[in-house]
Structure 1
């Protein structure tokens, strides 16, 4: 396992811009064992199956670096799920109908005082399909989201696959969705393309309750895709990056009712994760 100084100092060296309030880019000298560290970038305890450690869940991706990783010699990371990816919040009531594994900022090293969910912040991340562990798009996948501190909903999220209640016409797209308590209104959609990163910047104004979407593919600079759209961002949420595979045919309790096939091994690749302060109206585009 990497020592406190190596993991943490490597992380700090990536923050070349003073406006970055949390940096989730993975330094090139970090191995998978670092994801189990109590002093790492990501929470070593959440979110994952009870019998699993993150060093068994994540894979470091050897492919081309994402747009915002290549600038700081960071590496992308693949988050995987299998039959054991059953989360039990607080150690009880396992979510037996869901398969999930998500990276979250480590509360031991992340900024305090809700720094990523107050003021005006821009969440950056890049995402691409796993080349070797494809998703089953007959399911809905929740992949990037902010969860309210009271766990009562997700103010903003990214999904793919056959969204629950849909006909699956957009199952191969990435969809940015608004507050789940307000019906998860579609804010932006773009194809989820094999072998290429899709890059996002979500400009979130927590004072005005608006979201603006910027995106690109590959190493192209981000471009504006929407204006500032009204969206309730209240709740001082926590960020999640990974796979939350929902069941097909969910019942009234969709966490514990519905269909999941067995023998799975699926993944998604992330890169370029960071949050910057955009109170001055600026968004890093390249």
Structure 2
């Protein structure tokens, strides 16, 4: 016999914001006022908790978590009024959801094929940067289309995809979509009169944190208007650009490196 279990997840319109694990992280932040304490309380790493918070704020219709001065390595962390309301509502819904699942009872073995099929519909992506936005313009070409996506913070992200993909995703002006960008596809530059680039995406941002590894460094960026982007560059590049927290930079992404998706 196969027991039917359901996973409750949270969406803002068509945007997937998170599930129980992220809600519990938000609740722990409300209780402790500390990202490190909240991460320990829910069994996350400090870095994993920050990544979750960045994703939550990027995909939400408005910020759910705010941080005091000190960046990713210091200062306090607290929920906004919207974040506190979200935790309360989610927990109320979770109680009703559990009652509903109990009423559905138990499935027979003949439902196994259907369960396996439904499982194929679920996927996760390894792309570090995930942004919710609204299609602002579509420029059709003979083979490829250029799609302009307005992010929650107001900046635009341009993607080049095939016309077939545009049709398959049902993209149209005003439609919500998710943009995926690998951290390794994000280049960094220092703004100035001599900076001239052919890349369509040149996003203004501020360095929020730098974590060095043996060869590469992970650079967290606060986008103007809201949202966080992560770039992976070499340590040599960090030194050459003299990158430091609080420094204004330009995040550079080729339009062909932006992947678009929809939630239905």
* TM-score bin, normalised by smaller chain: under 0.3
What TM-score comes out, normalization by structure 2 length?
Answer: 0.27
Larger radius of gyration between Structure 1 and Structure 2: 2
TM-score w.r.t. length of structure 1: 0.25
Q: Between the two structures, name the one with larger relative contact order (CA 8 Å, sep ≥ 6).
A: 1
